[in-house]
Structure 1
Amino acid sequence: MNKLTDWWLDFFQSERNESEWWERKKELCNERGIEITRIKGNGHVYQELRYDNISTYQYLLHLSLLMKQKDQFYVEEQVIPIQFRLENGKITDHIEVKLPDIADKKGVFTPNEPRNKDESRFSYDRLAAVKYAERWWNSYNPAFRKFEVDCTNYISQCLYAGGAPMRGAPNRGNGWWYQGDNWSYSWAVAHSLRWYLSGSTQGLKGKEMQEASDLIPGDVICYDFEGDGRWNHNTIVVAKDAYGMPLVNAHTYNSRNRYWSYEDSTAYTPNIQYKFFRIGE
């Protein structure tokens, strides 16, 4: 496993590297005045398939990047799924694996229920939400179901840890809630949570902000990677960089302290759209 990890670290740092992910990462770091001062990796095999004398392995590469920006240091972490073939003792086809589409195609729901005009508030504990996001960024709370596309489920758990009240059960198209082995679309589907945050007038709701720099830890960013009106992904702000820009945590492609724009993501397109939500105010 160490040999595989070393291979990937060398691959990412090689002058001949043509990885789109790494090229975007370097370009984004240059734009932000970031120096990557150290890269560490650790791998974990989670699947092995054998056919004749060929074995196909899939593993998770946990990358830790020590970033320096001005006088500030922080660690960015990402978990990347990798696949390779082992044939006659030689490693071939060592590539990144595409996980399921980040956009959950099931239960995509845009809330259209009559809005309750009660402007009741809740006290949002941002620190508790961020602590939860840090605790579970690369693992899964057994109190909740783990989804194959887990980004929104993770964000909902963070918001709940911050004190956001559930409402609307048992109607899956109403409110925001998780109960036993059932949940609202807005709890687990990126598109639905985006519209719930902008439409809810009681309990959990979001105030749309104009710029990413307006956000503070505990706030939420929603992503429409293709710019087609279908929202694919959500993250939670956990910190700010040296220039006051958000760093975020996320699931599905588990990541910590990632720069908010996702320009280094394989899902990124030039048509990407964002929504910035202030939570609890």
Structure 2
Amino acid sequence: MREILQELFEKRVQQFVANHRNSKDNFSKADRKLESLAKRSAEIVKVKAAGKVLENTSEDDFQTIKYNAHYQYLIKQKGNLYLEEEVEERVAKFYKETLIMDGEIKPIENGAQPVGYSEPFMADTFDRLSYQYNRLKAIQYAERWWNSYNPAYKKFENDCTNFISQCLHVAGAPMRGYPNRGTGWWMQNHNWSYSWAIANSLRLYLSKSTAGLRAKEVSSPDQLLLGDVICYDFEGDGRFNHNTIVTAKDANGMPLVNAHTYNSRMRYWAYEDSSAYTPNIKYRFYHILD
């Protein structure tokens, strides 16, 4: 089975660098990525892929393997080179050692609030909580933990917003609001605010907060600085379900981002190559204030 998976990896790698693709193969991931790169006058000059088996279960003649696929893309744009990475979770199924299915496990980021919860207006009744936001520390943290999990913090199954909150906190943003989960932004004593861990709640918090962690919404991604935040509403229904942090800029001055859930680093901000992308996608761009 491992040999079959390795053969699949090799075929996928060729799809990213070949000038044409076999019409019998449907590697839409490569199609999406190459199309996105072409819009930016960028190209992949080298790609590597490696797999890590997470689970291996058998029942009668059937075997199911859940695994991570780690991609590394060396991208060239206007004479500049940078390395983009992402980890995709997949599942392969075999019948009598014959591959019958291999597909992506699509993450569903938790953008929904608990039943009965309504987002409060973030009224501030205390001091401004001055702080200095250290953008370098935010980037260093995002680079250190983009594909792993800091044991000092709770890990969530849908971890993208928790990861962004960690980056912001390490960079100096002060927590506030404990122990009210619907107020402020905090993690403490094995508990946390909705804004710390839920994508839509963090987006609302950044748009309303006037104390502690604060942000200013800007109109376009090129206005963002390193350490700023992008929020994503993939379906365009008003409920945001993903967040990323800006860790670099490409040759056009556009953001490259790090994220969890689908762990990725130096990924182009628009997510057009993501399986979660839809034509209805909406973005919010937040510049962190101090």
Matched letter for residue 134 of structure 2: D
The CA deviation at 1:12 is 5.2
In structure 2, which of residues 197, 202, 219 is the aligned counterpart of residue 193 of structure 1?
A: 202
Q: Does 1:249 align with 2:258?
A: yes
Moved more, 262-271 or 155-164: 262-271
Kept after mapping to 2: 8 A contact 1:109/1:192: no
Runs of 4+ off more than 6 Å: none
Partner of 1:147 in structure 2? 156
Question: How do 1:86-165 residues align onto structure 2 when only pairs under 5 Å count?
Answer: 86-99=94-107, 101-107=108-114, 110-116=119-125, 118-165=127-174
Matched-pair contact (CA < 8 Å) for 2:92–2:103 = yes
| Structure 1 position 268, deviation (Å) | 0.8
Q: Is it true that 1:205 corresponds to 2:214 in the alignment? A: yes
Structure 2 residue aligned with 1:7: 8
- The two structures, once aligned, show a CA RMSD in angstroms of 1.7
Q: How has the CA–CA distance of structure 1 residues 195 and 123 changed in structure 2, closer, same or farther, with 3 Å as cutoff? A: same
Matches within 5 A, 1:226-241: 226-241=235-250
Q: Distance in 1 between matches of 2:273 and 2:118?
A: 28
Structure 1 position 262 matched with structure 2 position 263: no
**5+ long unaligned stretches in structure 1:** none
Answer yes or no: is the 8 Å Cα contact 1:246–1:259 preserved in 2.
Answer: yes
What letter corresponds to residue 8 of structure 1 in structure 2?
F
Residue 81 of structure 1: which of 82, 89, 93 is its match?
89
Structure 2 counterpart of 1:56: 64
How far apart, in 2, do the equivalents of 1:206 and 1:109 lie? 22
Work out whether residues 12 and 19 of structure 1, in 8 Å CA contact, stay in contact via their aligned partners in 2.
no
Q: Is 2:111–2:239's contact at 8 Å kept on the other side of the alignment? A: no
Distance 2:216 2:228 in 1: 10
Taking the aligned partners of 2:44 and 2:131, their CA distance within structure 1 comes to 40
Which residue pairs with 1:171 in the alignment? Answer: 180
CA distance in 1, matches of 2:50, 2:213: 38
TM-score (norm 2): 0.92
Q: Which residue of 2 is the match for residue 28 of structure 1? A: 36
- Deviation string 1:186-214 (CA, Å, 9 cap, x unpaired) is 00000000010110001101111111000
Give the superposition deviation at 1:72: 1.0
Structure 2 residues without counterparts, runs of 5 or longer: 16-20
Alpha-carbon distance change, 119 to 145 in structure 1, aligned in 2, over 3 angstroms: closer
